[in-house]
Amino acid sequence: MVVTAARRPQVALDTPWAVRVLQADRMRGTGDGRSLPNMLSREPSVLLQKTGPGQSSPFIRGFTGFRTLWLVDGIRLNNSTWRDGPNQYAGTIDHFAVDKLEVVKGPGAVLWGSDSIGGTLHARTDPADPALGRAGLYELRSASGERSVQQRIGFQDAREDGWGLKGGISSKDFGRIRAGGGERLSHTGYDEQAADLRLDLPSGPDGGPALSFGAQTVRQLDVPRTHKTVDSKSFHGTSVGTELERKLDQKRDLLWSRLDFEGQNGGLVDGAALTFSLQRQQEDQQRVRTGGRFDERGTDVLTTGVQLQLESDSDVGLFTWGLDAWHDEVDSYQTDVTIGSSPPAGAVAGPVADDSSYDLLGVYVQNEQVHGDFETVIGVRGTYARADAGAFDNPAVPGNDPSTPGNVLSTRESWNDVSASLRGLLHVDDQTTVWAGLSQGFRAPNLSDLTSDLEDGGVESPTPDLDPEHFVTLELGTKLDSDDWSGELALYRTWMKDTIVRSPTGTFEGTTPVFRKDNAGDGWVHGVELRGERRLSPEWTVFGSVAWQDGEVDQFTPAGIKVREPISRLMPLTALTGVTFEPEAQRWWIQADVLAADEADKLSLRDQSDTERIPPDGTPGWAVLGLRAGVTISERASLVLAFENLLDKNYRVHGSGLNEPGRNLVLHGRIRF
């Protein structure tokens, strides 16, 4: 079942969206199970870029960063400091605590609001399982290619009446990566600690709401960004970094509560859910450069959220309607030190404006109607966004000293939008559906757009007069789910208007390129994605997928001339094929597959300036072979052994800052007690 597409449980076959549900426990037993975003590496139309070992950022249909929306149990992970391009924040979701990862491709702005352009990714935890009663859990994942050991100890207690308690603690130790051909990648290890708890209370015998509570905490320490340092390795002509060290500490804490109501028969509301959340995300970056220079910068964001969702079943269809409100309080800082020189110097702000706030308010309604074999889904959302940037650097005044007259700026901006979506689905028969959708998307400028002075891979100036971005996506697809065949095909095209593009100016601060930001990005991206599975016999199954995309967007050359060039990190033609053998009435299985990508040589102007991550002629194509097997030892114990990249290929996913592990032996085991 998928719940993200329509904000209610649905069978994927009956959903007029391109959707996929990944079972997290199965994915952890593969080479893709290192982290939650890594589980998307085999999904069609998903390019899993990795800036560093703890910094994976999926591009969905050409979009990433703040143009994809991440949810954790329905709570927005996105906040107003997220930057353009790849970021690392999805890595702060502990994949051991996640039961399902839902992927909804294409715009979800009507139901989920700003940022849901390329897709929506929903990390879900399930209530404790009554069938297990009171039980403990130990889970281990170890991988030789990354010298990692990840462990989790969990517990649960559940009753048939719906009462349940579950939780756990996770510990992860990542070591030095060994790339293909035996190349050792220095300074690619880090540590992570996490804990989580969930409590579910059923409604009483006389009615009333059911209550759920959740808490999560994650700490990542000394996560390296190796490609910026002298420890990086050149790959097909990429530049080696000049910094001596760059590392990040990431912290995330989340508390949420949800009340679920059942309406009275004949009433206006048949069901309702009220959710409160409080989430804190902290980021601290330390950088050591030559000449005795050291700087530290970061953000501290506290996000308060309220969501009200209602359902009303009427003579004219099912209405899903409600509102959501999000408020960010943002602190930002930077300290610069030169050893043997003046005392540490504070800056006006860090990555974004200091002492700032950001508000996002949405009201939405969606109607679903059934007309025989044909279903329609019509929705609309009104959005209000406001940015209050307290203090940021004035680019017209030299330096970033807050005591310099005129060097501190502030601004307050607000925007409104109405976005709509129209979708239809036809049941050809019990096993086949055809669907189509036309959806608008909207993204208001955030604090990073307006006030950031440091772009991913370059330097940029604050630009407080930017306008919202607008998108329109047309989709057409078909799905099949029978005893012997399953799969889906989707075609899409997204038109972009006024997107905020970062273009190189041709100037540098030291060796770092300087960028400009403009609402210049009119353009398009389109593609096709196909995924299928064929059961040849009760024991043998073949599977595969293929995805292709192309896209262009307006951007500026260093001479200030507007040109239309490929979108950044355009996904190359990518395909997966494999076979699974699982004997009937047996407890074991074996699988082999090949994942391949074509050469990625269509580069944006921004890509061409990103010489530390992207080779001058583009990223070479690659193909890797994997073999894995699993056994269910008992009802309470299972073991999976995977041998990834069997041929020890030295390769890099397009746009990444380091190469993938070479020959990699992965062990994953679970035992309940």
List, as one string, the DSSP characters of 515-542.
Answer: EEEEEEEEEEEEEEEEEEEEE-SSSEEE
Sign (positive/negative) of CA torsion 66, 72, 75, 77? negative
pLDDT value, residue 510: 67
Cβ atoms 170, 195 nearer than 8 A: yes
Sign (positive/negative) of CA torsion 640, 597, 575, 567? positive
Largest separation between any pair of C-alpha atoms in the chain? 79
Cβ atoms 494, 471 nearer than 8 A: yes
pLDDT value, residue 370: 96
Segment holding 449, helix H or strand E: helix 447-451
What averages of pLDDT result for each successive group of 10 residues across the chain (673 residues)?
Answer: 84 95 84 89 96 94 96 97 92 96 94 94 95 95 96 96 95 96 93 98 83 98 95 95 95 98 80 98 95 92 98 95 98 88 79 97 98 97 97 86 89 96 97 98 94 69 89 98 96 97 77 81 97 97 98 91 95 98 92 98 94 96 97 94 96 96 96 95
**Three-state DSSP class for residue 296:** strand
Cβ atoms 216, 251 nearer than 8 A: no
Return d(Cα 555, Cα 565) in angstroms, integer.
7
Return d(Cα 32, Cα 578) in angstroms, integer.
15
Contact partners, residue 299, CB within 8 Å, separation at least 6: 81, 281, 282, 283, 330, 331, 332, 333, 350, 351, 352
Phi-psi region of 140 (alpha: psi -120 to 50; beta: other; left: phi over 0): beta
The domain in which residue 492 lies consists of 12-672
Indicate the burial class of 673 (C-beta count within 10 angstroms; 0-12, 13-18, 19 or more).
exposed
Cβ atoms 280, 286 nearer than 8 A: no
Return d(Cα 273, Cα 187) in angstroms, integer.
46
Task: Specify the pairing of strand 69-72 against strand 55-60.
Answer: unpaired
User: CB 635: neighbour CB atoms within 10 A?
Assistant: 7
The predicted model scores a pTM of 0.95
Return d(Cα 644, Cα 224) in angstroms, integer.
24
In a domain, 246, yes or no: yes
pLDDT value, residue 266: 64
Q: How many domains does the chain have?
A: 1
Return d(Cα 51, Cα 54) in angstroms, integer.
8
User: CB 592: neighbour CB atoms within 10 A?
Assistant: 16
**Three-state DSSP class for residue 458:** strand
pLDDT value, residue 159: 92
In a domain, 2, yes or no: no
Burial 160-196 (b: 16+ CB within 10 A, else e): eeeebbbbbbbebebbebbbbeeeebebbbbebebbb
Q: HSE-up of 625 (CA within 13 Å, CB side)? A: 4
In a domain, 641, yes or no: yes
pLDDT value, residue 456: 54
Return d(Cα 39, Cα 662) in angstroms, integer.
18
In a domain, 286, yes or no: yes
Could you say which DSSP state residue 285 is in?
E
Return d(Cα 425, Cα 435) in angstroms, integer.
4
Indicate the burial class of 290 (C-beta count within 10 angstroms; 0-12, 13-18, 19 or more).
exposed
In a domain, 1, yes or no: no
In a domain, 578, yes or no: yes
Q: How far is CA 444 from CA 360, 384, 392, 471, 502, in A?
A: 9, 9, 19, 12, 16
pLDDT value, residue 511: 66
Residue with tokens 């079943």: 313
Return d(Cα 98, Cα 123) in angstroms, integer.
6
pLDDT value, residue 454: 65
pLDDT value, residue 486: 97
In a domain, 389, yes or no: yes
Beta bridge partners of 542: 534, 579
In a domain, 516, yes or no: yes
User: CB 23: neighbour CB atoms within 10 A?
Assistant: 12
Tell me the per-residue pLDDT of 240-284, one tens digit each, with 9 for 90 and over.
Answer: 999 999 999 999 999 999 999 987 766 789 999 999 999 999 999
Task: Specify the pairing of strand 119-124 against strand 69-72.
Answer: parallel
Indicate the burial class of 76 (C-beta count within 10 angstroms; 0-12, 13-18, 19 or more).
buried
pLDDT value, residue 549: 98
Q: HSE-up of 615 (CA within 13 Å, CB side)? A: 19
Cβ atoms 53, 146 nearer than 8 A: yes
Contact partners, residue 279, CB within 8 Å, separation at least 6: 75, 77, 79, 252, 253, 254, 255, 302, 303, 305
Q: Which CATH number goes with the domain that contains 354?
A: 2.40.170.20
Contact partners, residue 169, CB within 8 Å, separation at least 6: 152, 153, 154, 193, 194, 195
Could you say which DSSP state residue 549 is in?
E
Comparing C-alpha atoms, which of 601, 597, 552 is closest to residue 575?
A: 597
Could you say which DSSP state residue 379 is in?
E
Alpha-carbon Rg for the chain, nearest whole angstrom, is 25
Cβ atoms 49, 56 nearer than 8 A: yes
Task: Specify the pairing of strand 469-481 against strand 432-443.
Answer: antiparallel
Return d(Cα 493, Cα 505) in angstroms, integer.
30
Segment holding 569, helix H or strand E: none
Return d(Cα 260, Cα 300) in angstroms, integer.
31
